[in-house]
Amino acid sequence: MSINKVIVCDTIHQKGIEQLESENDIEVFNAAKLPKDELLEHLGGFDIAITRSSTPVNKLFLEKASSLKALVRAGVGVDNVDMQECSKRGIIVMNVPTANTIAAVEMTMAHLLASARSFTNANNDLKLKRVWKRESWYGIELCEKKLGIIGFGNIGSRVAKRAKAFGMDVVAYDPYIKPKKAIDMGVKYTENLDDILACDFITIHTPKNNETINIISDSEIDKMKNGVRLVNCARGGLYNEDALYKNVKSGKIAYLGMDVFVKEPAVNDKLLDLENISVTPHLGANTHESQEKIATQAASQAISAARGSSYPNALNLPIDESKVPSFVKPYLELVQKMGSFASQVNKASIDTIKIVAEGDISEYLESMLTFAIVGALKGSMGEHINYVNAEFVAKEKNIKTITEVTNISSAFKNSIDLYLSTDKGVTEVKGTVFGDDVQRIVRFDGFNLDIEPKGKMVIFKNTDVPGVIGDIGTILSRNGINIADFRLGRDNKNHALSVILVDNNISKEVLQELGKLATCLGVSYAVI
């Protein structure tokens, strides 16, 4: 068993550390309390690094981390990471973009409510000044007001759902989503930013890039109605702060809610001098729940990257994930896991990799093929296969690659079928994604199942007779192997297939013992 070394450079929730330490193929060093100059001397020999914003991942860091294969930024922003230098060195950079989703959504709602009812002003009057001035703080109701949302991804769409519960009329602007996403939620979709500018409330939920910096400035505010209320809990600089200051001061903007600023800490920002503003010091992700999610998701990504099974939320792949809809990204990760799973079960030289897509996901078949190839060949080629050279390597090895769109409708809105052909036969894996990011393998070699593609799995095919599950459990128990989950599928040929998720590594001896059961038709082991 190969051991993968992970270094944690900054403080993360203890649950993330515990998750790393629980994996017996992962060796973890928690260097969060080391001074940064001392940290540099400990980076050599580590395969994966987990960082937050306080560790600069610059050229010096990367020179010291000469064995680094992947970097996990435990959070969203990667301003402290030299992406170009990482790419040059072949280091895959990942972030954790969704762990703080609910926290950011609820912070937005807090600022929306504050902008409607001036809670912070009234609180300060009563608590700090001990003044009871009910007449000074008349607000407005969210109900039947129009909310414009710029950016309709994970956060923006959830804000819409909550705003609708308040009785608001919601309009969404996002050129990178399919209008159907908004329409299916009962939200008006627009391709014209002016429709957003006509709303009573406006909130923004986009990344910060050349397209979105100052997306709201003087000219846009001029088009807004008098008394508009604005909220920004995304990134500082999406709203031009000079324009905000001028228009809040004049009363054009009745109220402003801000969690983010161009320059942070924003203790001297002139916006703080204004009365009709609620401010928080970048607290969007500051909940106990989100910090735990950030840590555990970062740990999961580090484990997957260390094993080479997938690189969730990779930012410097040749495929620009920022240019594909959010619903596509989980499928890219899933199809790589499917390829890895299939190749571990069907251990032989690969002849053909074929993927068949159903639904809207079929538009991204070529991208998914790259990920499928990497997953299928990673186990045999290790670091010699990556997203850049995947198709070239497949061609060099005379592996035929096929993509196909099916018009046969299944029970799933979107699905991917992967067929891996070797001289041992064809292995079929079908996968889909439920909700935003619930990845599942739903069919394997003719058996309908429901498997989360994650962890250590024993795949056991047998004649469908009584006592098999007990026999499997007895052997695993005798070898000190704990069962975490057990999934069973059956066919119409009196066969059954079990996928057993276990907490411990499975040795060749245990597989051989399982294979000697009279009912066994085949047994294999996969780690994703």
Which of 38, 144, 264, 363 is the catalytic position? 264
Q: In this structure, are residues 188 and 171 in contact, taking their beta carbons and an 8 Å threshold?
A: yes
Which of 42, 282, 487, 495 is the catalytic position? 282
The yes-or-no answer on residue 264 being catalytic is yes
In angstroms, rounded to a whole number, what is the distance separating the alpha carbons of residues 2 and 505?
Answer: 12
- Strand, coil or helix: what is 201? strand
The yes-or-no answer on residue 282 being catalytic is yes
Concatenate the DSSP letters of all residues of 451-488 into one string: E-S-SEEEEEEEE--TTHHHHHHHHHHHTT--EEEEEE
CA angle 321, 170, 259 (to 5 degrees): 65
Tokens, residue 307:
């094993």
What lies within 8 Å, CB to CB, of 123 at 6+ separation is: none
In angstroms, rounded to a whole number, what is the distance separating the alpha carbons of residues 164 and 331?
Answer: 29
The yes-or-no answer on residue 235 being catalytic is yes
Q: Omega of the bond prior to 453 within 30 degrees of 0, cis?
A: no
Widest distance between CA atoms in the chain: 84
In SS3 terms, 311-358 reads as CCCECCCCCCHHHCCCCCHHHHHHHHHHHHHHHHHCCCCEEEEEEEEE
The packing angle between helices 14-21 and 288-307, to 10°, is: 30
In angstroms, rounded to a whole number, what is the distance separating the alpha carbons of residues 443 and 445?
Answer: 7
Q: In this structure, are residues 17 and 35 in contact, taking their beta carbons and an 8 Å threshold?
A: no
What lies within 8 Å, CB to CB, of 72 at 6+ separation is: 48, 49, 50, 51, 94, 95, 96, 298, 301, 302, 305
Q: In this structure, are residues 120 and 131 in contact, taking their beta carbons and an 8 Å threshold?
A: no
Q: In this structure, are residues 52 and 7 in contact, taking their beta carbons and an 8 Å threshold?
A: no
- Decide: residue 12, CB within 10 A, 0-12 exposed, 13-18 middle, 19+ buried: buried
Which of 111, 229, 235, 443 is the catalytic position? 235
Catalytic residues: 235, 264, 282
